[in-house]
Structure 1
Amino acid sequence: MTRTKQDGEVALATVDPGDLPAFKAVMEASFAVAVIEEFGSVEEGSIPSGSDLDESMTAPGTELLHILCDGQRVGGAVVVIDEATQRNSLDLFFLSPAQHGRGLGFKAWMAIERRYPKTRVWQTHTPYFEKRNIHFYVNKCGFRIVEFFSDRHPDPHHPGPSGLPGGGEMFRFEKVM
């Protein structure tokens, strides 16, 4: 059987501490693509950095996951699982730029849903300018936009400037399972 570009088994694996430098590098490269496409260049603080990842890793319930395709690392996810409420958060989700457009993001999201079957509600965020992400979360994965953060309605969990281009405007999404 010949494999097409869309084929490939997607799985998840826990990130070991020794894998963190490579995990962070792929994350930063992935997020830089959208910023460059929209704004022409990447400026300091305009994408999530390794230090952002370090900060998010200390939250209770945080799990770092490699996204694997046919056993090869192609991206990652940072999820926060609240065992008490099962209102869980997808804090970061990324694929290596070389893997974009292969349908792996959707397969990876389905693998995340299967990994956490007790989840009642998933939540995530994305910058307003990231049309590809908005399409992915709403049209592919079944999330709904439930809130828009801006200077007139700041995110209460991240007050102040975010460093993101475009003033840090963000959408908050939820998916009720």
Structure 2
Amino acid sequence: MGYKHDMTNCSITLAIADAADYPAFKRELQEAFAIAVIAENGALPDGPIPSDQELDTAIAAPDSVVLRILRENKPVGGAIVTINDTTHRNALDLFFIKSGEIGRGLGYQAWIAIEQRYPQTLTWETHTPYFEKRNIHFYVNKCGFKIVEFFNTHHPDKHRPSPDEVPGLDEGFRFEKVM
């Protein structure tokens, strides 16, 4: 029940990130995430978001795949996905377009490329904080996800950092896309 897209003119490709690229991948992801956090809170809390430790955990997680988003063979972003070959219920754990590349349709092209890379997927899941209205628009209006859960003080997300660690993360959404 998913959307079909003609990607014959897609300039975006995906490649599995090499371990030697992880430091640049992490730095670029943290720079991209910092923009929204600073816009919401005026500053970053101590240290980058997500922390290097959180990113190392995500990269090393079972079934995770670290993808580089490329345009003309140059990195313009990245994603960490979790692929479950048994249930085909997969997760978009982290997704970013590099600072300076946002607003050119690259995120949408990258998402379609991810869908095409994993055609066996039955359901995709992802999360985003409440304050990330641009992400909410992207996932719901562009990519066809549905909001299936709203996290808040009365219904906390036990899998995310506490609000004390990252201001503004006490409210957020879980999205699903049934393919």
| TM-score over 0.5 (shorter chain) | yes
Structure 1 residue 162: deviation in Å?
6.3
Cα offsets for 1:101-134 (capped at 9, x unmatched): 0000000000000000000000000000000000
Letter of the structure 1 residue corresponding to residue 122 of structure 2:
R
1:69–1:60 CA distance, 2 compared to 1 (3 A): same
Aligned to 1:74, what secondary structure does the other structure show? strand
Of residues 129, 135, 144, the one that matches 1:127 is 129
- Give the whole-Å Cα distance in 2 for the aligned partners of 1:149 and 1:164: 15
Letter of the structure 2 residue corresponding to residue 171 of structure 1:
F
Aligned to 1:25, what secondary structure does the other structure show? helix
Letter of the structure 2 residue corresponding to residue 24 of structure 1:
K
1:1-177 aligned at under 5 Å gives the runs 9-44=11-46, 47-158=49-160, 160-161=162-163, 163-177=165-179
1:53–1:167 CA distance, 2 compared to 1 (3 A): closer
Structure 1 residue 156: deviation in Å?
3.4
Aligned to 2:100, what secondary structure does the other structure show? helix
CA contact 1:81–1:88 (8 Å) conserved in 2: yes
Cα offsets for 1:49-85 (capped at 9, x unmatched): 2221111122211000000011110110000001100
Of stretches 27-36 and 49-58 in structure 1, the one that deviates more from structure 2 is 49-58
Structure 1 residue 157: deviation in Å?
3.1
- Give the whole-Å Cα distance in 1 for the aligned partners of 2:169 and 2:129: 10
Aligned to 1:91, what secondary structure does the other structure show? strand
TM-score (norm 1): 0.91
CA contact 1:145–1:172 (8 Å) conserved in 2: yes
TM-score (norm 2): 0.90
CA contact 2:162–2:170 (8 Å) conserved in 1: no
Letter of the structure 2 residue corresponding to residue 90 of structure 1:
L
Q: Which stretches in structure 1 are left out of the alignment for 5+ residues?
A: 1-6
Aligned to 1:84, what secondary structure does the other structure show? coil
Structure 1 residue 160: deviation in Å?
4.4
Letter of the structure 1 residue corresponding to residue 159 of structure 2:
H
Q: Tell me the matched-pair count.
A: 171
Q: Which stretches in structure 2 are left out of the alignment for 5+ residues?
A: 1-8
- Give the whole-Å Cα distance in 2 for the aligned partners of 1:92 and 1:166: 17
Structure 1 residue 30: deviation in Å?
0.2
